[in-house]
Amino acid sequence: MSDEEQPENENGHGPRQHKPVVVVVEPETPGNVGTIARAMKNFGLYDLKLVDPPEFDPDGEAYGFAGHAREDVLPNAETVTFDEVVENYHTVGFTGITNESSYSHDRFPFKTPVELKEDLKRVDTQTALVFGREGKGLNNDELRRLDEVASIPADGRYPILNLGQAATVTLYELRDLTVEETQLPDVEHARAPEQDIERFYDFFEQFLENSHFPEHQRDRTRLMMRRLVGRAHPTDREINTLLGLFRRANEQLEERGELLDELDREDRWNH
């Protein structure tokens, strides 16, 4: 059943217009993919996307573990690239290993699934829940490209959950957003299209270059901005205002640079 076919209750509440999609990056064990497909159907989700998946034998573990999800979720799973996920969705990556310092933004700040649910209640956007490999999970380079990070609270002596378990726990906690019987508060606003948000990041990157921001600080600054915008869920109007602001700033900085070149004057900020 597609998002558009999902009914709402008489009060206009019910599942979000855009239900989350579930993405699994380079799964190794077909049984885990089947478990995830089953959990998705349990909690009202049907859109499964796989990055570099193994082949699934119709008589193998994936279909065996999928239960009734073998009829729809699993056979309709779409193979995608990591780039496609980042470009088209508000992304939430899941990790069992977190940082506890604001100086390391690869895995900090992070949300629990319950906190993520409360956040997504307030905004309707195309969200991808991104899970990593069984052995290594998502690496730091991948996490840097995602908008938010989430982690399931567990015993600190052994915080790493099995891939299928992690997805099941997460989808259970998000069930208020995905099952038809749950009454939900009205959506406060719709998040701006991801393509426009990515354009903002491009403008911000150009701004860092035009303003001669110290190169050794740029990676951390880019990541901090992505995390900030990821939590803020900007609206169309907000992101368009930011695009206009940074477009104007970049044009002025470029014109300033051209004038300094014409006057053969040194730019005192370019150190």
23 forms bridges with which residues in the sheet?
49, 130
- Which of 126-135, 200-209, 261-270 is predicted with the least confidence, judged by mean pLDDT? 261-270
pLDDT at 181: 62
pLDDT at 271: 60
Same-domain pairing of 170 and 211? no
For the stretch 28-43, pLDDT in tens is 999 999 999 999 999 9
Q: Final residue of a domain: which of 177, 205, 234?
A: 177
pLDDT at 219: 93
Torsional class of 229: left (φ above 0), alpha (ψ -120 to 50), beta (otherwise): alpha
Residue 79: inside a domain = yes
| Average pLDDT of the chain, as a whole number | 85
pLDDT at 270: 67
pLDDT at 154: 82
Give the domain CATH number at 69: 3.40.1280.10
Same-domain pairing of 8 and 71? yes
Same-domain pairing of 23 and 152? yes
Distances (CA, A) of 186 to 17, 43, 69, 121, 230: 12, 20, 30, 8, 21
Same-domain pairing of 130 and 19? yes
Tally of structural domains, the chain: 2
pLDDT at 227: 94
Residue 118: inside a domain = yes
Rounded (10°) CA dihedral 62, 64, 70, 73: -40
Residue 271: inside a domain = no
Same-domain pairing of 55 and 122? yes
pLDDT at 99: 59
Q: Final residue of a domain: which of 154, 177, 200?
A: 177
CA 108 – CA 245 distance, rounded (Å): 28
Q: Final residue of a domain: which of 124, 152, 177?
A: 177
Same-domain pairing of 94 and 155? yes
pLDDT at 182 > cutoff 70: no
Residue 46: inside a domain = yes
Nearest to 76 by CA among 133, 129, 2: 2
Same-domain pairing of 125 and 82? yes
Q: Return the H-helix or E-strand segment holding 124.
A: strand 123-124
Choose from 5-14, 56-65, 108-117 the range with maximum mean pLDDT. Answer: 56-65
Same-domain pairing of 115 and 166? yes
pLDDT at 106: 52
Is the alpha carbon torsion for 183, 184, 185, 186 positive or negative? negative
Q: Domain of residue 100: give its range.
A: 3-177
Same-domain pairing of 165 and 254? no
Same-domain pairing of 133 and 199? no
Same-domain pairing of 109 and 14? yes
pLDDT at 92: 94
Same-domain pairing of 151 and 20? yes
Residue 185: inside a domain = no
Residue 200: inside a domain = yes
Give the domain CATH number at 202: 1.10.8
Residue 142: inside a domain = yes
Residues 6+ apart with CB under 8 A from 38: 65, 66, 67, 68, 69, 73
Residue 134: inside a domain = yes
